[in-house]
Amino acid sequence: MNNLQCHCCGNIDSNNFEIIEYSNKCSMHYPAILDETKIIYCKKCFFGFNNTIIDQNILDLYYSKYYNGKGIKTFYNVDKKYISEGLIDSRSLSQINLIANYINFKNKNILDIGSGICLFFLQINNIYKSNNIYKYIIEKQLDNQNWYKEHQIQIINNNILEDLPSKYKDFFNLITMSHSLEHFQSLDLDMIFKNINYLLKSDGKLFIEVPNADLNKFKYANENYANENMEPHLCFFSKQSLIYLAKKYNFKILYINTFGESQKTKVTDVEENKRNKNFYYTNEDKIKINIEAEKYLKIYIQKQKRKNNFINKISLFLPNNVFKLLLKINIFLKNRIKIYYDNREFVLNEEDGEYIRIILEKNI
């Protein structure tokens, strides 16, 4: 516990840290070295980080060849045409809907870091087909480069942990990191945020989503399954630690909140499907539904077929152009007709939600 420093808040008081064990309940593959490591927890900003400097070659090999997250499983187990044209990714759609309140998705350069199979950009393609959005990724799993090319996604063949080409300086209007920041080592945060500052335009936006992983506050969350202190995560963020991180690198905070089920009572996807709980999302949730996103709302509502909702019932019988008009009227009326979702990604939970979403703006 000597010579410790929190990379978020700068805490160096050895009495202000705690050691936490990994859960060993992870359903994913992970490097064996993690079984020999522990998590250091900062009591000042509630940030957790792995206590070992892991060889970057081990991590690069793992993420390029062996990482088996949810998106990768989907990619290799279903028809690729279905992923391109028919897949509704709730996480990406809810993120796009939030980001659309802070940036107009038109004539923009967007970079996704740690993008996997690019579910975020696939949803962008479906919603904003004629908006001249230029899509770039920094991603280690590049086995199927034709996949990215087919969906007009350009690969930046550089590591976010190294110096980047000058042609990308002040180039991007938006950079996104969805469930990727927690996979980096804490000592890498400095280079990551310096590079993001380098890449963003003067008023560029940064969107980050990470698990809400205050390991002390939610120490026993979901104890029958995988807790938040699970492999292969190397960083564990709280809202407070992200606020410290934003200020440290001179970003303006535009939005921060938590979404999803309660960390104290959350269940697995299987359990969630069994419960079939009705969540709904309206203007009262403090996030406006953007008119430009009406297409995905139509698709999503039709998929749900909720029994007690007027719009869902009539959607099955109306022509698309009439249904589109109905949605516009509903949005104009500030969503007085409730649009139902049964997916936790759309649920604003300010108390103890599963995911933290933060939108930052580069300060000049």
- Looking at per-residue confidence, does 106 or 267 come out higher? 106
Give the pLDDT confidence score for residue 283 in this predicted structure. 37
Give the pLDDT confidence score for residue 281 in this predicted structure. 34
Residues 157 and 218 placed together within one structural domain of the fold:
yes
Q: Is the pLDDT of residue 76 over 50?
A: no
CATH at residue 181:
3.40.50.150
In a domain, 146, yes or no: yes
Instruction: Measure the CA–CA gap between 362 and 364, rounded to whole angstroms.
Output: 6
Give the pLDDT confidence score for residue 64 in this predicted structure. 77
- Looking at per-residue confidence, does 47 or 88 come out higher? 47
Give the pLDDT confidence score for residue 322 in this predicted structure. 57
In a domain, 217, yes or no: yes
List beta partners, residue 177. Answer: 208
Residues 62 and 155 placed together within one structural domain of the fold:
yes
Residues 329 and 349 placed together within one structural domain of the fold:
no
* Containing structural domain, residue 79: 14-272+345-362
Give the pLDDT confidence score for residue 194 in this predicted structure. 97
Q: Is the pLDDT of residue 332 over 60?
A: no
Residues comprising the chain, all counted: 364
Residues 305 and 181 placed together within one structural domain of the fold:
no
Residues 337 and 352 placed together within one structural domain of the fold:
no
In a domain, 5, yes or no: no
In a domain, 258, yes or no: yes
Mean pLDDT of 1-13: 88
In a domain, 1, yes or no: no
Mean pLDDT of 17-25: 87
Which stretch of 50-64, 213-227, 231-245, 250-264 has the lowest confidence by average pLDDT?
A: 213-227
Residues 321 and 216 placed together within one structural domain of the fold:
no
Mean pLDDT of 79-93: 65
Residue 278: band (very low, low, confident or very high) from pLDDT cuts 50, 70, 90:
very low
Residues 355 and 233 placed together within one structural domain of the fold:
yes
Number of independent structural domains in the chain: 2
Give the pLDDT confidence score for residue 186 in this predicted structure. 97
In a domain, 4, yes or no: no
Give the pLDDT confidence score for residue 220 in this predicted structure. 56
In a domain, 265, yes or no: yes
* Mean pLDDT of the chain, nearest integer: 77
- Looking at per-residue confidence, does 298 or 243 come out higher? 243
Q: Which of 38-47, 124-133, 271-280, 340-349 is predicted most confidently?
A: 38-47
In a domain, 8, yes or no: no
Residue 333 structure tokens: 């009326």
Annotate the chain with three-state secondary structure.
CCCCCCCCCCCCCHHHEEEECCCCCCCCCCCHHHHHCCEEEECCCCCEEECCCCCHHHHHHHHHHHCCCHHHHHHHHCCHHHHHHCCCCHHHHHHHHHHCCCCCCCCCEEEEECCCCCHHHHHHHHHCCCCCCEEEEECCCCCCHHHHHHCCEEECCCCCCCCCCHHHCCCEEEEEEECCHHHCCHHHHHHHHHHHHHHEEEEEEEEEEEECCCCCCCCCCCCCCCCCCCCCCCEECCHHHHHHHHHHCCEEEEEEEEEEEECCCCCCHHHHHHHCCCEEECHHHCCCCCHHHHHHHHHHHHHHCCCCCHHHHHHCCCCHHHHHHHHHHHHHCCCCCCEEECCHHHCECCCCEEEEEEEEEECC
Residue 306: band (very low, low, confident or very high) from pLDDT cuts 50, 70, 90:
very low
Residues 184 and 300 placed together within one structural domain of the fold:
no
Give the pLDDT confidence score for residue 125 in this predicted structure. 84
Residue 142: band (very low, low, confident or very high) from pLDDT cuts 50, 70, 90:
low
Q: Is the pLDDT of residue 138 over 90?
A: yes
Residues 64 and 96 placed together within one structural domain of the fold:
yes
Residues 240 and 257 placed together within one structural domain of the fold:
yes
Q: Which of 37-46, 50-59, 310-319 is predicted most confidently?
A: 37-46
Residues 144 and 291 placed together within one structural domain of the fold:
no
Mean pLDDT of 88-94: 82
Residues 89 and 36 placed together within one structural domain of the fold:
yes
Mean pLDDT of 132-155: 83
